[in-house]
């Protein structure tokens, strides 16, 4: 069950007049629910098609923002990104001091834990920031301001991931943003974890979850995915992997701005341009 959405407990949510390093962290304490290997799908994407960002970074700083009651996913992120850039510096950032204290025994060269929030109290400019199951516990009205806070800390080539997933990481979605704007929206699912692709809708990020209604772009994508999935039913005899790839091809042929190709699609992944799902202005 999702915790009741809250307003951000900070007057600096607009992105201006951020508190200093000694100021109160920006944000609220989350439930902290986490499980080992829960973030494997987004980590695979960061270490795959987005790996160039880490390789090209002058200072390979990475933040796992709001890692939760257990530091396991921050440790996993560090270990996975070490394979891309051995000198990576990962900071697990949590607003709850006790969670940070519990994580300190796991610190090592390249992996540290800090108390903080959306102001990102880390040295330098982080090239990657991952915030999963964090913004969903806030109000939709706060999303743009939170995005801006984090985006203002990104260097050229930096990326902010705002995502949501189920408890064991089988249904996952995320928005990727650079310092200027949202870039893309990704869905990643385990085959066998859904009847229709639109089942992932309950795990949409906060910016989109209330927009899965007729007239909104993300709703149109959910409907188009289901139609394409059903049209590709004959491919099921070759396995759901082939059926998903057929769905992606059909969406692309229908005009959806589908990114990447079969090497990503076969993983149960679909990425589209953000503009194709962005909320309609009120």
Report DSSP letters for 131-148, one per residue: EESSGGGB-HHHHHHHHH
Report the distance separating Cα 214 and Cα 231, nearest Å: 22
Q: For residue 131, what are the contacts with CB-CB under 8 A and spacing of at least 6?
A: 65, 66, 150, 160, 161, 162, 163
Q: Which of 24, 87, 31 is nearest to 57 (CA)?
A: 87
- Structure token digits, residue 55: 């390789």
Report the distance separating Cα 275 and Cα 127, nearest Å: 23
Q: If DSSP codes are grouped into helix, strand and coil, which group holds residue 62? A: strand
Q: Pseudo-torsion of CA 70, 71, 72, 76, nearest 10°?
A: 160
Q: Pseudo-torsion of CA 241, 245, 251, 257, nearest 10°?
A: 120
Identify the pLDDT of residue 14. Answer: 40
Element (H, E) at 241: helix 240-253
Q: Which of 145, 113, 136 is nearest to 26 (CA)?
A: 145
Q: For residue 30, what are the contacts with CB-CB under 8 A and spacing of at least 6?
A: 3, 66, 68, 95, 133, 134, 137
Sign for the pseudo-dihedral over CA of 140, 144, 150, 154: positive
Burial 71-81 (b: 16+ CB within 10 A, else e): bbbbbbbbebb
Identify the pLDDT of residue 18. Answer: 37
Task: List, in sequence order, the alpha helices (H) in 116-205.
Answer: 140-151
For the whole model, what pTM was predicted? Answer: 0.90
Identify the pLDDT of residue 2. Answer: 36
Q: Which of 199, 181, 175 is nearest to 189 (CA)?
A: 199
Q: Is there a contact between 39 and 169 (Cβ–Cβ < 8 Å)?
A: yes
- pLDDT of the chain, 282 residues: tens digit per residue: 333 444 554 434 443 333 434 468 888 777 666 778 899 999 999 999 999 999 999 999 999 999 999 999 999 999 999 999 999 999 999 999 999 999 999 999 999 999 999 999 999 999 999 999 999 889 999 999 999 999 999 999 999 999 999 999 999 999 999 999 999 999 999 999 999 999 999 999 999 999 999 999 999 999 999 999 999 999 999 999 999 999 999 999 999 999 999 999 999 999 999 999 999 987
| Structural domains in the chain plus CATH codes | 40-274 (3.40.50.150)
61-65 and 89-94: which strand pairing? parallel
Identify the pLDDT of residue 31. Answer: 66
Identify the pLDDT of residue 231. Answer: 98
């Amino acid at each position: 069950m999702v915790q009741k959405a809250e307003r951000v407990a900070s007057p600096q949510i607009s992105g201006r007049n951020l508190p200093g390093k000694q100021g109160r962290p920006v944000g609220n304490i989350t439930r902290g629910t986490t499980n080992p290997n829960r973030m494997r799908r987004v980590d695979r994407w960061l270490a795959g098609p987005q790996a160039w960002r880490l390789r090209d970074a002058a200072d390979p700083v990475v933040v796992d923002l709001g890692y939760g009651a257990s530091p396991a996913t921050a440790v996993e992120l560090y270990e996975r990104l070490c394979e891309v850039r051995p000198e990576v510096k990962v900071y697990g950032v949590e607003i709850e001091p006790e969670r940070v204290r519990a994580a300190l025994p796991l610190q090592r060269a390249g992996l540290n834990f800090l108390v903080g929030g959306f102001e990102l109290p880390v040295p330098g400019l982080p090239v990657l920031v991952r915030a999963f199951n964090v913004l969903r516990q806030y109000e939709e009205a706060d999303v743009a301001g939170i995005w801006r806070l984090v985006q203002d800390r990104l260097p050229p080539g930096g990326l902010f991931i705002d995502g949501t997933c189920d408890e064991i990481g089988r249904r996952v979605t995320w928005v990727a943003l650079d310092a200027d704007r949202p870039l893309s929206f990704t869905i990643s699912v385990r085959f066998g974890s859904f009847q229709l692709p639109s089942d992932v809708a309950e795990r949409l990020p906060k910016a989109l979850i209330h927009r899965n209604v007729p007239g909104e772009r993300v709703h149109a994508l959910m409907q188009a995915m289901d139609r394409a999935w059903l049209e590709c039913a004959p491919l099921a005899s070759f396995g759901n992997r082939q059926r998903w790839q057929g769905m992606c091809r059909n969406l692309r042929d229908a005009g959806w701005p589908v990114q990447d190709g079969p090497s990503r699609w076969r993983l149960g992944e679909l990425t589209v341009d953000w503009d194709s799902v962005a909320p309609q202005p009120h």
